[in-house]
């Protein structure tokens, strides 16, 4: 495994590999790696000749500075896990390497309604920050494919839009959400949950399963209400949203008879930690 800290050096190396006919897969991460990330590394290794994992806690995507400060940083362990998975290249840049013009440099992406709905409504500016860093990483690595976890469903839709906007010849491949034994979606934030809250947090998975099971029998608004009530009665302190939406536009669906892909998404707080999860209700 080769470790690069400088953008120029990793670009140079990967351009040489491309000249040799090798395909490149990028798994962008913010570190604190878990099974979800490692499954993306595996997916990339199955699809591409060279797998690059970037580890960078991106300051521009945190709308809450306290959340940024508390974000878990576990680089030695991350490197150990990546080595064990036989990841080929790790890119571990500094802030100035990613943002040579400073983090405040203005760049705006036209993400349409995608950036104001759901996460966008509760985390203003978040997706602009995600696009800034992903744009830069795609530019540095120039991958053939990039791999993202479906757990961050809206982020996947946003990055697909970014790729389309920039007309990049890159395929976005989505990896399945990896869950713990009782259904809690793997997330770097789970490490901040106490044992009791971690147990209670599985209610998100139950709520999503409930929606999937009853979709078509009850109106979406009723299912959303039932699920939010269930979360609150099972230990969640607050629910930002339970939304049943069109899987492409992420706009709410009002009737159960839509022919489109339907996804249910949840964001809720437990023990002061904000968790998100989703489930495809109708493919
Ligand atoms: O999903 C994440 O970990 C981040 O949002 C990403 C895509 C690595 C950009 O910082």
**Looking at residue 257, what is its pLDDT?**
66
Cβ of 133 closer than 6 Å to ligand 1, yes or no, is yes
Q: State what percent of residues in the chain have pLDDT above 70.
A: 99
Report which of 140, 146, 144, 102 is spatially closest to residue 9, judged by C-alpha positions: 140
- Altogether, the residues listed in the chain come to a count of 283
Q: Which two tokens stand for residue 170?
A: 């890159």
Q: In this model, does residue 151 exceed pLDDT 70?
A: yes
- Segment 169-183, tens digit of pLDDT: 999 999 999 999 999
Q: Ligand 1 pocket test: pick from 28, 52, 151, 154 the residue with the most ligand atoms within 8 Å of its Cβ.
A: 28
231, with CB counted inside 10 A (0-12, 13-18, 19+), is: buried
Q: In this model, does residue 258 exceed pLDDT 80?
A: no
3-state secondary structure of 277: strand
Cβ of 28 closer than 6 Å to ligand 1, yes or no, is yes
Cβ atoms of 27 and 53 within 8 Å: the answer is yes
Q: Which atom of ligand 1 is nearest to the CA of 57?
A: 10
- Segment 58-85, tens digit of pLDDT: 999 998 899 999 999 999 999 999 999 9
Is 37 an annotated catalytic residue? Answer: yes
Q: Which atom of ligand 1 is nearest to the CA of 149?
A: 1
- Give the dihedral of Cα atoms 161, 167, 169, 173; nearest 10 deg: 0
- Segment 3-38, tens digit of pLDDT: 999 999 999 999 999 999 999 999 999 999 999 999
Residue of the CA atom closest to atom 6 of ligand 1: 29
Average pLDDT over residues 237-254: 95
Q: How confident is the model at residue 259 (pLDDT cuts 50, 70, 90)?
A: confident
33 CB-side CA count, 13 A: 25
Q: In this model, does residue 207 exceed pLDDT 90?
A: yes
The rounded Å distance from CA 140 to ligand 1 centre is: 16
Cβ of 247 closer than 6 Å to ligand 1, yes or no, is no
**Looking at residue 62, what is its pLDDT?**
95
45-74 core/surface letters (b: 16 or more CB in 10 A; e: else) = beebbbbbbbbbbbebbbeeeeeeeebeeb
Cβ of 190 closer than 6 Å to ligand 1, yes or no, is no
Element (H, E) at 268: strand 262-270
Summary mean pLDDT of the chain: 96
Residues 6+ apart with CB under 8 A from 8: none
Report which of 46, 9, 34, 57 is spatially closest to residue 190, judged by C-alpha positions: 34
Residues 6+ apart with CB under 8 A from 273: 189, 192, 193, 197
**Region at 132 (left for phi over 0; alpha for psi -120 to 50; beta for the rest):** alpha
The rounded Å distance from CA 201 to ligand 1 centre is: 22
Of 37, 80, 108, 234, which is the active-site residue? 37
**Looking at residue 44, what is its pLDDT?**
99
Q: How confident is the model at residue 106 (pLDDT cuts 50, 70, 90)?
A: confident
- pTM value is 0.96
Q: Ligand 1 pocket test: pick from 27, 30, 115, 126 the residue with the most ligand atoms within 8 Å of its Cβ.
A: 30
Distance CA 160, CA 138 (A): 12
Give the domains, in start order, of the chain with CATH numbers. Answer: 2-175 (3.40.50.620), 193-282 (3.30.1300.10)
Q: Which atom of ligand 1 is nearest to the CA of 30?
A: 3
Give the residue carrying structure tokens 């992903």. Answer: 134
Q: How confident is the model at residue 161 (pLDDT cuts 50, 70, 90)?
A: very high
């Amino acid at each position: 495994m080769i470790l690069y800290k400088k953008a120029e050096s990793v670009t140079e190396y990967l351009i040489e590999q491309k000249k040799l006919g090798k395909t490149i897969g990028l798994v962008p991460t913010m570190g604190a790696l878990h099974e979800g990330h490692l499954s993306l590394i595996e997916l990339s290794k199955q699809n591409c000749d060279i797998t690059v994992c970037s580890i960078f806690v991106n300051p521009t995507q945190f709308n809450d500075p306290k959340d940024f400060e508390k974000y878990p940083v576990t680089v030695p362990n991350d490197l150990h896990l990546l080595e064990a998975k036989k990841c080929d290249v790790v890119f571990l840049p500094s802030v100035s390497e990613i943002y040579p013009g400073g983090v405040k440099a203005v760049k705006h992406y036209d993400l349409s309604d995608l950036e104001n709905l759901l996460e966008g409504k509760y985390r203003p500016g978040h997706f602009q920050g995600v696009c800034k860093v992903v744009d830069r990483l795609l530019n540095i690595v120039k991958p053939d494919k990039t791999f993202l976890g479906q757990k961050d469903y809206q982020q996947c839709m946003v990055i697909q839009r970014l790729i389309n906007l920039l007309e990049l010849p890159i395929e976005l491949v989505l990896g399945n959400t990896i869950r713990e034994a009782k259904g809690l979606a793997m997330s770097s934030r789970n490490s901040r949950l106490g044992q009791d809250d971690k147990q209670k947090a599985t209610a998100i998975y139950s709520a999503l399963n409930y929606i999937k099971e009853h979709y078509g029998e009850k109106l979406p608004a009723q299912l959303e209400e039932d699920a939010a009530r269930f979360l609150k009665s099972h230990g969640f302190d607050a629910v930002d949203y339970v939304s049943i939406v069109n899987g492409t536009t992420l706009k709410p669906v009002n009737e159960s008879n839509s022919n489109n892909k339907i996804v249910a998404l949840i964001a809720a707080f437990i023990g002061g930690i904000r968790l998100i999860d989703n489930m495809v209700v109708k493919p």
